[in-house]
A and B are shown apart, each in its own frame.
Chain A
Amino acid sequence: MENLSDYFAMGGYARFVWPAYALGAAGLVAVLWLSVKSWKAREDEFAKLKTARDEGAN
């Protein structure tokens, strides 16, 4: 258990090392999430427009 807390202490540099990795993960996840979200939203919008067009044709 002591070894584990030693590890997380990162030789006294924990407050620099861990935020670097946390921000990296946050940045990658955020861009991925926003990209998927806008793709899905546009897919829905396009599907709606298609229905509107088909209804207009009938």
Chain B
Amino acid sequence: MHKFANPTFFMKIANAVFPWAAGLSVLCFIVGLPIALVTSPPDYQQGETVRIMYVHVPAAWMGSMVYAVMAASSAVYLIWRHTVAHIIARASAPIGAMFTGLCLVTGMLWGEPMWGTWWVWDARLTSMLILFFLYLGYIALGDAFEDQERGDRAAALLALVGSVNLPIVHFSVEWWNTLHQSSILSMQGFSISTEMVVPLLLMVGAFQFYYVAVLVIRLRAELLAAKIRTARFNLAATG
């Protein structure tokens, strides 16, 4: 386990994973998009707007999942001081923020024609908006300190504390009355027809693999930034 804390060893694995993640993401998009946009049936109630689901639901799942990754790695960083764990969290944040933002705007685009309103302040939408702000706060906090390590720790703490929002996002449609429809995936399986599950899962796959591929690119950039800081420090010391 602690072997993964070595950045060189870790990046070796990450770089080996990269072409597979990138390739699988492209493949899922190529297969999934035509099904989502053309061959899958319109909903008997919601008509063609149901196609928004194939962007909205995967974006929502990714928004929560990436945050869970961020909170877990932040915990590892705070407890064991593994820099790699912190770098994973830091590199994940902008990707998760984009997915959460995408979930919010596609939700509005779906809400207006189906509910007759772009926005309601109910538990699901509000907790998702809070998730979006948690991402923004995390990104801002990480760069807000002169001392890099203090910023890192403050951001990690925010990620960890903010994770209480995740179960609220998930259970909000059960705990409170809402316009939002309930979960598609539950212990009883899927609540939508197979013709809709297939494109949905393909788009989820496309987003998942996209996250992994972009994460690797961002990890490379983060590790280079650390190397640059050390090189600058050494240059200043010797020059």
Contacts and interface: CB of A to CB of B under 8 A. Distances in A.
Interface of A: 7, 10-13, 16-17, 19-21, 23-24, 27-28, 30-32, 34-36, 38-39, 42-43, 45-46, 49-50, 52-53, 56
Interface residues of B, number: 39
A39 B234 CA distance: 22
B210 A28 contact: yes
Contact of B55 (A20, A32, A46): A20
A55 to B, nearest CB: 10
A11 B50 CA distance: 11
B98 A23 contact: no
Contacts of B218: 35, 38-39
A53 B59 CA distance: 45
Interface stretch (B102-110, B135-143, B156-164): B102-110
A43 B48 CA distance: 46
8 contacts: A16-B110, A16-B112, A24-B59, A27-B99, A27-B102, A31-B95, A35-B218, A49-B235
Given A11-B42, A23-B105, A46 B48 contact: no
Contact of B48 (A11, A27, A30): A11
Given A17-B48, A20-B55, A24-B55, 8 more contacts: A7-B38, A12-B48, A21-B55, A31-B94, A38-B221, A39-B218, A46-B228, A53-B235
A17 B49 contact: yes
B51 A17 contact: yes
Contact of A27 (B101, B112, B239): B101
Contacts of B232: 49
Contacts of A19: 109
Contacts of A7: 38
A17 B101 contact: no
A43 B228 CA distance: 9
Nearest to B217: A35
Given A35-B221, A39-B221, A16 B113 contact: yes
Contacts of B193: none
Contact of B217 (A12, A39, A53): A39
B238 interface: yes
Contacts of B37: 21
A21 B94 CA distance: 20
A46 B51 contact: no
A11 B113 CA distance: 12
B48 A49 contact: no
